[in-house]
Structure 1
Amino acid sequence: MPMLLTSSSSLRALPPPLAALSRARVRVAASAATSAPDGAGATASGFPSFLPRAAERIRDGAAIRLAKRIERVPVQTGFSGSPILSSCVRPLKQQQDADPIVLLHGFDSSCLEWRYTYPLLEEAGLEAWAVDILGWGFSDLATRPPCDVASKREHLYQFWKSYIKRPMVLVGPSLGAAVAIDFSINHPEAVSKLIFIGASVYSEGPKDMTRMPKFVSYAGVFILKSLPLRFLATRLAFNKTPNEVFDWVQIGRLHCLLPWWEDATVDFMIRGGYNVIKQIKQVKHKCLIMWGEDDGIISSKLAYRLHQELPDAILRQVRQCGHIPHVEKPREAAKLVLEFLERDRAEKADQAASVTPVLTNG
Structure 2
Amino acid sequence: MVFSASVGSVALPPPSVRVSAKRWSSVVVAAAHEPFPSFLPKLIDRIHDPFARRLAMRIQRLPVPVRFSENPIMSSCVKPLIQKKETPIVLLHGFDSSCMEWRYAYPLLEESGFETWAIDILGWGFSDLEKLPACDVVSKREHFYQFWKSYIKRPMILVGPSLGSAVAVDFTVNYPEAVEKLVLIDASVYAEGTGKLATLPKAVAYAGVYLLKSLPLRLYANYLTFYNVSFSTSLDCTNVGRLHCLMPWWDDATVGFMTSGGYNVSSLIEKVKQKTLIIWGENDRIISNKLAVQLHCELPDAVIRQIPNCGHIPHLEKPSSVVKLIVEFVQREAKKLDKCVTQV
Fold in common (TM above 0.5): yes
Per-residue deviation, residues 62-83 of structure 1 (Å, max 9, x unmatched): 0000000000010010000001
The AA in structure 1 aligned to 2:267 is: K
The separation in 2 between residues aligned to 1:111 and 1:26, in whole angstroms, is 21
Per-residue deviation, residues 208-250 of structure 1 (Å, max 9, x unmatched): 1222211111111111111121123325655555553110110
The AA in structure 2 aligned to 1:11 is: P
Per-residue deviation, residues 270-319 of structure 1 (Å, max 9, x unmatched): 01000001000000000000001111111111000000100110001111
The AA in structure 1 aligned to 2:16 is: R
Paired residues for 1:193-272 under 5 Å = 193-235=181-223, 237=226, 239-240=228-229, 242-272=231-261
Contact kept, 8 Å, 1:85 with 1:140, in 2: the verdict is yes
1:308 matched to 2:297? The reply is yes
1:332 matched to 2:321? The reply is yes
Structure 2 vs 1, CA of residues 28 and 110 (structure 1 numbering), >3 Å: closer, same or farther? Answer: farther
1:164 matched to 2:161? The reply is no
Q: Which residue in the other structure is 2:263 paired with?
A: 274
Q: Which residue in the other structure is 1:11 paired with?
A: 15
* Greater Rg over alpha carbons, structure: 1
Which of 34, 50, 75 is 2:64 aligned to?
75
1:152 matched to 2:140? The reply is yes
Per-residue deviation, residues 154-210 of structure 1 (Å, max 9, x unmatched): 000000000000101000000000000000011011111000000000001112122
* Cα displacement (A) at 1:13: 7.2
The separation in 1 between residues aligned to 2:270 and 2:252, in whole angstroms, is 33
The separation in 2 between residues aligned to 1:344 and 1:167, in whole angstroms, is 15
5+ residue gaps, structure 2: 6-12, 28-32
Contact kept, 8 Å, 1:26 with 1:119, in 2: the verdict is no
- SS class of match (1:48): coil
Which of 110, 124, 137 is 2:112 aligned to?
124
5+ residue gaps, structure 1: 15-20, 30-43, 356-362
Structure 2 vs 1, CA of residues 179 and 7 (structure 1 numbering), >3 Å: closer, same or farther? Answer: farther
The separation in 2 between residues aligned to 1:203 and 1:241, in whole angstroms, is 29
The separation in 2 between residues aligned to 1:110 and 1:26, in whole angstroms, is 24
1:192 matched to 2:196? The reply is no
Contact kept, 8 Å, 1:28 with 1:66, in 2: the verdict is no
* Cα displacement (A) at 1:267: 0.3
Contact kept, 8 Å, 1:178 with 1:201, in 2: the verdict is yes
The separation in 2 between residues aligned to 1:191 and 1:13, in whole angstroms, is 28
Q: TM-score, normalised by structure 2?
A: 0.92
- SS class of match (2:167): helix
The AA in structure 2 aligned to 1:67 is: A
The separation in 1 between residues aligned to 2:336 and 2:25, in whole angstroms, is 31
Structure 2 vs 1, CA of residues 27 and 155 (structure 1 numbering), >3 Å: closer, same or farther? Answer: farther
Contact kept, 8 Å, 1:101 with 1:127, in 2: the verdict is yes
Q: Which residue in the other structure is 1:17 paired with?
A: none
Per-residue deviation, residues 27-79 of structure 1 (Å, max 9, x unmatched): 998xxxxxxxxxxxxxx861100000000000001000000000001001000
Contact kept, 8 Å, 2:65 with 2:73, in 1: the verdict is yes
The AA in structure 1 aligned to 2:221 is: A
The separation in 1 between residues aligned to 2:102 and 2:204, in whole angstroms, is 32
Structure 2 vs 1, CA of residues 241 and 288 (structure 1 numbering), >3 Å: closer, same or farther? Answer: closer
Contact kept, 8 Å, 1:6 with 1:252, in 2: the verdict is no
Paired residues for 1:131-146 under 5 Å = 131-146=119-134
The separation in 2 between residues aligned to 1:233 and 1:312, in whole angstroms, is 33
* Cα displacement (A) at 1:349: 1.1
Q: Which residue in the other structure is 1:358 paired with?
A: none
Q: TM-score, normalised by structure 1?
A: 0.87
**174-183 vs 226-235, greater mean Cα deviation:** 226-235
Which of 74, 79, 84 is 2:73 aligned to?
84
Q: Which residue in the other structure is 2:102 paired with?
A: 114
Q: Which residue in the other structure is 1:320 paired with?
A: 309
Contact kept, 8 Å, 1:168 with 1:191, in 2: the verdict is yes
- SS class of match (2:118): strand
Q: Which residue in the other structure is 1:104 paired with?
A: 92
What is the alpha-carbon root mean square deviation over aligned residues?
Answer: 2.1
Contact kept, 8 Å, 1:104 with 1:130, in 2: the verdict is yes
